[in-house]
Amino acid sequence: MARVNIVKKIKIDGVWKLIAIPRTSKGTYDWNSLPEGLYLIEWRAGGKRRREVAGVTASQALEAQRQKKHALEGRALGLPGFEKAGETVKQGPLHIAVEKYLDETEALKKPNTLRKYKAVLERFLEYFQNAPSIDQIGGEDLTRFVIWLKKHEQLGANTIRHNAIIVAQFFKRQGRENITRQLQLPDRIDPLPREYSTADLEKFFQAAYDAEQILFGTFLLTGLREMEAVHLFWPDINLERMRISVTAKPELGFYPKRWEERAVPIPVQLIGLLKQHRPRPGSNFVFPSPAGNREYHMLDRCKAIAARAGLDPEVFDLKTFRSTFATRSLRAGFDVRTVQEWMGHKSLETTMRYLVPNSDVHDRLDQVTIPGLNSSELRKQEATKATPTRGRNRKQAKAKPPDKETVAATPRARAAN
């Protein structure tokens, strides 16, 4: 008799696992012993283990098991039409399709890309955990998924759009590239790039220790990304040619964004700081961890300095050092194409986003005045002179005899003369 087992896909400590259905003392399935999940059936055919989605209820799982046993028994008896029974499997379970897609991503993409894809698709699986296969997910289901991201996960508009792009790529790889075309997404928000003010930077670096001044001075004066600074080696720094090279480190699994290496010039001020920075014995990293390995706590150190300086740690991050470098470089007169090369941007349009107005303008702006606009005290004095006097002062003003020049100017005085 053909053997077909029932297993259940459940989430344990954030990880999806396949668990066999426990049995009762009487030998029957104990359906209530496991949490909610997705049932699958598994069997062996053609020397391989096969799996197939079996629904989300016990009755669906038992029916799928019965039908598969019937097909496998027909094959064993040599009945016509059952020659390949059990070997051809319909669309696999959704989680298996995702795992296969992530395996391909790991082989073809960079580690950072894999982490992003994995986070998005695990969230996708969490929502569609009861969907037997990808074929049973329609456009309306994806719309409800987007609403769930907004209300339940409380993701921003741009993050939701990013999730939708990755899900769309996954569907395209499964042969369903048109399903997301009519998907309703929130409007994209393009905020202006942030930059640190001169006053805040002064407070920040005054509160930083010597090694921290060199680290965050490098961020500010080169525009390096976080992982580029983490994987910066001493041979990447050429003080004579006054430049830092962003290079791949295949042995560490690090590659520059878009796989493109680049060189960034370094100003004299940063050269002076780097000359003071001593290499750690036995470590190639310019900014190593206390153990001499990669330092993954640069953001924590940034926020700790901001707190010591009396600044808001929430608004201090590593990316803003990079955007401050870009905006100040453009404002200093460097052309957009040059700054694009320094930043490692794919398109010129991305670099042009950093052409933002200067926010540190108040000291210079206060020097701009309009004559007469701020002379409120003078206007008060003029108004006081024009106001008629009252009481005795008014009578005295009327009784005051005119001076000789005024009398001489009257018509009667002219006639007498």
Options 3.30.870, 1.10.1740, 1.10.3470, 1.10.150; CATH for 94-173 is 1.10.150
**Domain assignments of the chain as residue spans, ordered by start:** 5-76, 94-173, 198-352, 378-407
Q: Give, in order, the Cα–Cα distances in Å from 80 to each of 73, 75, 91, 277.
A: 12, 8, 24, 80
> What is the spatial distance between Cα 279 and Cα 288, in angstroms, rounded to a whole number?
9
Q: What is the pLDDT of residue 378?
A: 52
Give the span between the Cα atoms of 104 and 96, in whole angstroms. 13
Listed range (103-107, 299-303, 335-339, 381-385) with the worst mean pLDDT: 381-385
Return the half-sphere exposure (C-beta side, CA atoms, 13 A cut-off) of residue 123: 22
**pLDDT (0 to 100) of residue 92:** 52
What's residue 397's pLDDT?
46
SS (H, E, C) the chain: CCCCEEEEEEEECCEEEEEECCECCCCCECHHHCCCCEEEEEEEECCEEEEEEEECCHHHHHHHHHHHHHHHHHHHCCCCCCCCCCCCCCCCCHHHHHHHHHHHHHHHCCHHHHHHHHHHHHHHHHHCCCCCCHHHCCHHHHHHHHHHHHHCCCCCHHHHHHHHHHHHHHHHHCCCCCCCCCCCCCCCCCCCCCCCCHHHHHHHHHHCCHHHHHHHHHHHHHCCCHHHHHCCEHHHEECCCCEEEECCEHHHCECCHHHCCEEEECCHHHHHHHHHCCCCCCCCECCCCCCCCCCCCHHHHHHHHHHHCCCCHHHCCHHHHHHHHHHHHHHCCCCHHHHHHHHCCCCHHHHHCCCCCCCCCHHHHCCCCCCCCCCHHHHHHHHHHHCCCCHHHHHHHHHCCCCHHHHHCCHHHHHHC
Q: What is the pLDDT of residues 77-126, one digit of tens each?
A: 888 877 777 775 444 578 888 888 998 888 877 777 888 899 999 889 88
User: Which strand ranges, in their side-by-side order, compose the sheet holding 5-12?
Assistant: 15-20, 5-12, 38-45, 48-55
Band of pLDDT at residue 410, cut at 50, 70 and 90: very low
Tell me the C-alpha to C-alpha distance, in Å, between residue 373 and each of 157, 365, 367: 45, 15, 14
Q: Under 8 Å CB-to-CB from 347, ≥6 apart: which residues?
A: 340
How far is the C-alpha of 223 from the C-alpha of 170, rounded, in Å?
33
Does residue 297 have a pLDDT over 90? yes
Confidence grade of residue 408 (pLDDT, cut at 50, 70, 90): very low
Report pLDDT for 91.
47
Highest mean pLDDT among 63-77, 214-228, 359-373, 384-398: 214-228
Q: CA torsion, points 111, 112, 114, 117, in degrees to nearest 10?
A: 180
Q: Which CATH class is domain 198-352?
A: mainly alpha
Q: Is the pLDDT of residue 263 over 90?
A: yes
- Average pLDDT for 154-172: 88
| Confidence check: pLDDT of 415 > 70 | no
Position 1 confidence tier, pLDDT thresholds 50, 70, 90: low
- Compute the mean pLDDT over every residue in the chain, rounded to the nearest whole number: 82
Structure pTM? 0.55
Average pLDDT over every residue of 255-271: 88
pLDDT of residue 234: 95
Strand order in the sheet with 237-238: 237-238, 243-246, 262-265
- Does residue 129 contact residue 11 with C-beta atoms inside 8 Å? yes
Cα 84 from Cα 76, distance rounded (Å): 10
Q: What is the mean pLDDT of residues 124-132?
A: 79
Taking 90 as the threshold, does the pLDDT of residue 218 lie above it? yes
Is the pLDDT reported for residue 387 higher than 60?
Answer: no
> Is residue 245's pLDDT more than 90?
yes
Residue 48 pLDDT exceeds 90: no
Give me the mean pLDDT over the 231-243 stretch. Answer: 95
Q: What is the mean pLDDT of residues 339-344?
A: 93
pLDDT surpassing 80 at residue 359 = no
Distance between CA 18 and CA 251 in Å, rounded?
34
Give residue 300's pLDDT. 94
pLDDT of residue 59: 86
Q: Is the pLDDT of residue 138 over 50?
A: yes
Q: What angle do CA 249, 252, 256 make, to 5 degrees?
A: 45
Provide the pLDDT confidence category of residue 186 given band limits of 50, 70 and 90: confident
